[in-house]
Amino acid sequence: MGNSFVSTIHGQLFLLLQRILPQHALMALVGAVAGIRIRAVKDFLIRTFVRIYNVDTTETSREVPAGFIDFNDFFTRELAERARPIDSSRESVVSPVDGIMSASGLIDGNTLLQAKGIHYTLEDLLATDLPDAALFENGSFATMYLAPYNYHRVHSPLPGQLTAARYVPGRLYSVNQTTVGLLPGLFTRNERLICHFRTAAGPMAVIFVGALNVGSVSTPWTGRIRVRKKGVVEDLDVNPAVAPVEVEKGQMIGWFNMGSTVILLLPPGACTWREDLVSGSRLRMGEALGKVVISP
């Protein structure tokens, strides 16, 4: 029996388990455990996680584990100052995260690549946001996976102005390579937060995709957004009195309370990705992913 066949069977069983699990109840439990502040418990959780996932703790801005009030505080940790230099070129679009490039390239009309042989549409990804979907037809996209050991804050790929933030309820399937390669429309099934920006290169969307191990997503404008399976798409308040809507390249715009995926959308003709940017490429927040055309 070949390794690929065994891997497929294991993947299908994992997908079946995700279908039958009470995903949101399980994530509520995970969130509760991650929020325990009893010193012995939270220190044990942090040390165990660091050991299992070989997390680089030399880059953190606080002592590990003593400097963190609970496991989630550690998971959403800030890095030490200058740990991630931001590419300063005016034409560069930078990686919003530390992670792994899952897929990138041109949007074929309104169709994006999820994995080999699996595609999904802009309309499904952006849910009821249909007029904005047309802005990105034949544009560019990049899908970035955040592994458990990664730094989990998300930063702006370009300078710009936040114009809208929308929360789309949904499922919480894993976004690891196995599930991405097996479940069509994965990114359109999972809950997500869609942030729209106006930039000198045109409209930009940064999409936070929830996952099996995500307890919530937070932004400076909305605070913590609790995940939910059902409900309507919600326009969130982005009042400038809460946080400035003007953001600089590399400025933090949100974070995952546990890990997931970020999708970046840019309009047609606005972006050229680096030639060496392929599926599996390791990314560091702030490094140039490509170049954009700046409007005069």
In a domain, 151, yes or no: yes
Verify that 106 and 233 share a domain, yes or no: yes
In a domain, 85, yes or no: no
> Residue 286's pLDDT is what?
97
> Residue 92's pLDDT is what?
97
> Residue 3's pLDDT is what?
47
> Residue 6's pLDDT is what?
42
Total of domains in the chain: 2
Verify that 46 and 109 share a domain, yes or no: no
> Residue 1's pLDDT is what?
44
Verify that 49 and 192 share a domain, yes or no: no
Q: Which of 70, 73, 98, 129 is catalytic?
A: 98
> Residue 2's pLDDT is what?
44
Q: Which of 102, 132, 155, 216 is catalytic?
A: 155
Verify that 130 and 271 share a domain, yes or no: yes
Alpha-helical regions (H) of 54-182: 71-75, 122-125, 130-135, 177-180
- The secondary structure of residue 76, as a DSSP letter, is T
Verify that 166 and 204 share a domain, yes or no: yes
Verify that 37 and 125 share a domain, yes or no: no
Catalytic, 216? Answer no
In sequence order, the 6+-apart residues with CB closer than 8 A to the CB of 261 are 102, 143, 144, 145, 146, 175, 187, 209, 211
Verify that 23 and 71 share a domain, yes or no: yes
Q: Which of 102, 104, 174, 260 is catalytic?
A: 260
> Residue 145's pLDDT is what?
92
Its domain, for residue 40, covers: 3-75
Catalytic, 155? Answer yes
The one-letter amino acid at 253: I
Verify that 181 and 221 share a domain, yes or no: yes
In a domain, 81, yes or no: no
pLDDT averaged per 10 residues in sequence order, the chain, 296 residues: 50 59 64 87 96 93 95 91 94 97 95 87 84 92 92 96 90 72 80 93 93 74 76 80 90 82 96 94 97 84
Catalytic, 73? Answer no
